[in-house]
Amino acid sequence: MAVETTKSSLQLQGVRLTRQRKILLDLIDKSGKHLDAESLYQLARLQDPKLNRVTVYRTLKMLKVGGLVDELDLMHHSGDQHYYETRMKREHAHIICLRCGKVEEFFGEPLLQIRKQVEEMFGFQILLTRTEIGGYCATCQPQRAQELDEAAVGA
Ligand SMILES: [Zn+2]
Ligand SMILES: [Zn+2]
């Protein structure tokens, strides 16, 4: 996930890689996680205390419009925030636990097959795909069952 690649693709699009953009891209790139704007702001501030929230949010928007980062809602499992990840990553689906908010990534052949089939069936040129799967993780399933039981007793 080379920042160099990112840098040149930014320059191709005529976007100047300013200091705050570079800080944010690096954070998104290296975290390997799906961070929301507020967490990114907190992390970015450790590197540059002068950064303010508005700049960070604006920069994220710009990176998104520039096609460098993807904005995900991850099924809004914990509210309205959006999460960011770099577009340099191989295509994957997000598996979201709706109880604990854990996010897993599924990389696999089936995703490429869907893409190919859609292109063929609809004569469609795909620019981006986003696959989200929501449910309960292995840890949360028994706890969820217990919560439902408790709710039923309470009713
Ligand atoms: Zn869970
Ligand atoms: Zn992801």
In the prediction, which pLDDT does 1 show? 42
Q: How far is the CA of 155 from the centre of ligand 1 (A)?
A: 25
Taking the C-alpha atoms of residue 36 and residue 88, their distance in angstroms, rounded to an integer, is 18
Q: In which band, very low, low, confident or very high, does the pLDDT at 87 lie, cut at 50, 70 and 90?
A: confident
Residues for the chain: how many in total? 155
On the question of pLDDT at 56 being above 80, the answer is yes
Average confidence (pLDDT) over 126-136: 91
Q: How far is the CA of 34 from the centre of ligand 2 (A)?
A: 6
Q: How far is the CA of 124 from the centre of ligand 1 (A)?
A: 36
On the question of pLDDT at 68 being above 80, the answer is yes
Taking the C-alpha atoms of residue 68 and residue 27, their distance in angstroms, rounded to an integer, is 13
Long-range contact set of residues 104-108: C-beta below 8 Å, sequence gap at least 24: 104/137, 106/133
Average confidence (pLDDT) over 75-102: 89
User: b vs e for 66-98, b when ≥16 Cβ sit within 10 Å of the residue's Cβ?
Assistant: eebbbebebbebeeeeebbbbebeeeebbbbbb
Average confidence (pLDDT) over 95-107: 94
Which ligand is closest to the CA of 96, given by its number? 1
Strand 69-72 and strand 131-135: the pairing is unpaired
Protein residues with C-beta less than 5 angstroms from the ion ligand 1: 97, 99-100, 137, 140
Which ligand is closest to the CA of 85, given by its number? 2
Taking the C-alpha atoms of residue 112 and residue 75, their distance in angstroms, rounded to an integer, is 22
Tally of CB atoms within 10 A around 38: 12
Domains of the chain: 1-88 (1.10.10.10), 90-155 (3.30.1490.190)
Q: How far is the CA of 1 from the centre of ligand 1 (A)?
A: 29
